[in-house]
Structure 1
Amino acid sequence: MGRSEQTPEIIDNLRRIFQAVSEYSRSAERETELTGPQLWALKILDRQAPLRVSDLARQMYLRPATVVGILDRLEGKGLVTRTRSQQDRRAVDLELTGAGRVLVAKAPEVAQVMLVNGLSTLTQQEFDSVLEGMRHMVRILGAEHLMPQPLRG
């Protein structure tokens, strides 16, 4: 099978990825009134709190400044608390409130968790293939200069 027959499959698979992320996002926002990144942060905190902003940012593959914005919105909704660490007074510990725990318990899965979990199950060869393919797609779209933003799904 040549490129002309396989190109539609590549385009269709990209469409499926965008569609899946969008559908997960709509589902999460409809059920929780939170964005995908906000819900992802809550899910991580539910499993591992207390965490520091830098630790949460690392687990979300985002910059700490981006995570602070997410946390501001979650704190404003009464779902997350920030308290001075007892061990290091300069540091802030993040934890879920009771309302945050209730929300996470009934929340749908988010695309980011599915991606991270799925990537962890790949063989090294499969992982390398995905990595190389994504690098090519970024280059093809001329998107190397773009600062990655959180997935909305």
Structure 2
Amino acid sequence: MALDVLQRFRVVFRSAQQHSANIEAQLGVSGAQAWVLAELHEAGPLRAGELAARLAIKPATLSNMLSRLVSAGLVTRVRSEQDLRVVQVALSEQGAALIGKVAVAPRGWLPEALARLSGEQLQQLAGGLDELLAVMGVSDRQAANKPLPFTE
């Protein structure tokens, strides 16, 4: 049974990896960057902290992604005139045009699939994964706030 579960993990992660590769081929940006564009397309301009929370990543990780997206001309960053600590992030015209032509879920196949599970199913899955992490002896959960390597 353990090998059956391992095979299911392989299918999940390879499918997510393939989805990310498809996004990158279609848009020319990583899966994580496409998710940033999708969130801004859906919500409009957001504070950087709000955007990081929507992606479930650390602000420093988002900052690195935003630097690449700004350099590519896909997003803009503007500091609030009232509070210079606040950075507002928005799609540029080029970014809006790019994300507007996407034919697949830019948030990523895995987050979209998880969102379709019921609350009870998510609780069961989370509980099982917590047990797996405990058996593995994983106590440092820093990786939880970083995109999967194939989406960066």
Counterpart residue number, 1:138: 133
Seen in structure 2, the aligned counterparts of structure 1 residues 92 and 142 have a Cα distance that, compared at 3 Å, is: same
Structure 1 residue 116, shift from structure 2 partner: 3.5
Counterpart residue number, 2:118: 123
Please say if 1:34 is aligned against 2:23: no
Query: 2:108 & 2:83 partners in 1: Cα distance?
Result: 30
2:61 to 54, 59, 66: 66
Counterpart residue number, 1:109: 105
Please say if 1:7 is aligned against 2:2: yes
Alignment-mate amino acid for residue 128 of structure 2: G
Which 5+ residue runs of structure 2 have no aligned equivalent? none
Structure 1 residue 146, shift from structure 2 partner: 5.3
Query: 2:4 & 2:59 partners in 1: Cα distance?
Result: 37
Alignment-mate amino acid for residue 120 of structure 2: Q
Query: 2:95 & 2:78 partners in 1: Cα distance?
Result: 16
The 8 Å contact of residues 74 and 94 in structure 2, kept in 1 or not, is answered as yes
Query: 2:8 & 2:73 partners in 1: Cα distance?
Result: 38
1:136 counterpart SS class: helix
Query: 1:49 & 1:86 partners in 2: Cα distance?
Result: 19
Q: Choose 117-126 or 73-82, whichever is displaced more.
A: 117-126
1:46 to 35, 41, 44: 41
Counterpart residue number, 2:18: 23
Q: What TM-score do you get using the length of structure 2 for normalisation?
A: 0.84
Which 5+ residue runs of structure 1 have no aligned equivalent? 1-5
- Percent identity (aligned): 29
Counterpart residue number, 1:150: 147
2:89 to 71, 81, 94: 94
Aligned-pair Cα RMSD in Å? 2.0
